[in-house]
């Protein structure tokens, strides 16, 4: 019967092997971490662009908006969308344009299947994030901000 007994070193080796296999299985089979909401919102904000003087979303924005839509569908969080413009044009037309842009994003997200509450509003040219004196600044001011509520 002495031959059938496992030494203490053998037992330790078996436990270590089981732990190593378990650890490897965990890392290989675990789901990749989901993007957090800050990353999703930042990507949507950074990549969302519109045609000048229009509420037409440029196709280069679709991927980031699709990720935002997926996040909202999964999380069921409500979203506030706030549209902004540059300073070219009248206050009234810029307010209307910013409202239309916010509504365009809302429509895009709803069309992608988002059913959680989404509000959309325009602020016009009142809150620039860059100078309106340069083309680059004006492009950045033509934006939509997202706030999870």
Looking at residue 74, which CATH number applies to its domain?
Answer: 3.30.1330.60
How far apart (Å, rounded) are the C-alpha atoms in residues 44 and 4? 64
pTM score: 0.72
Domain check: are 51 and 122 in the same one?
yes
Scan for tokens 């999870």, then name that residue.
148
Which is more confident, 132 or 17? 132
Domain check: are 127 and 142 in the same one?
yes
Domain check: are 144 and 119 in the same one?
yes
> Which pLDDT score, from 0 to 100, does residue 118 have?
97
Which is more confident, 53 or 70? 70
How far apart (Å, rounded) are the C-alpha atoms in residues 104 and 2? 79
Domain check: are 23 and 76 in the same one?
no
Task: Please report the DSSP string for 47-73 in residue order.
Answer: H--B-TTS-PBPGGGHHHHHHHHHHHH
Domain check: are 3 and 26 in the same one?
yes
Retrieve residue 35's tokens: 């993007």
> Which structural domain range is residue 138 located in?
37-148
pLDDT in tens, 1-59: 455 677 877 777 787 778 777 777 766 776 554 568 899 999 999 999 888 788 999 99
| Coil/strand/helix, residue 135 | helix
> Which pLDDT score, from 0 to 100, does residue 9 have?
78
Which is more confident, 76 or 29? 76
The stretch 46-73 carries a mean pLDDT of: 92
pLDDT in tens, 79-130: 999 999 989 999 999 999 999 999 999 999 999 999 999 999 999 999 999 9
> Which pLDDT score, from 0 to 100, does residue 3 have?
58
């Amino acid at each position: 019967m002495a031959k059938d007994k496992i030494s203490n070193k053998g037992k330790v080796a078996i436990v270590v092997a089981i732990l190593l296999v378990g650890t490897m299985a965990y890392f290989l089979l675990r789901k990749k971490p989901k993007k957090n909401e800050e990353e999703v919102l930042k990507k949507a904000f950074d990549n969302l662009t519109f045609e000048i003087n229009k509420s037409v979303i440029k196709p280069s924005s679709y991927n980031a908006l699709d990720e935002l839509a997926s996040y909202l569908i999964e999380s069921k969080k409500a979203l506030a969308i706030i549209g902004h413009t540059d300073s070219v044009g009248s206050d009234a037309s810029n307010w209307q344009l910013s409202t239309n842009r916010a509504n365009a994003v809302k429509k895009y997200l709803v069309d992608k299947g988002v059913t959680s509450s989404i509000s959309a509003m325009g602020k016009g040219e009142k809150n620039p994030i860059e100078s309106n004196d340069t083309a680059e600044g004006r492009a950045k001011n033509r934006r939509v901000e997202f706030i999870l509520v």
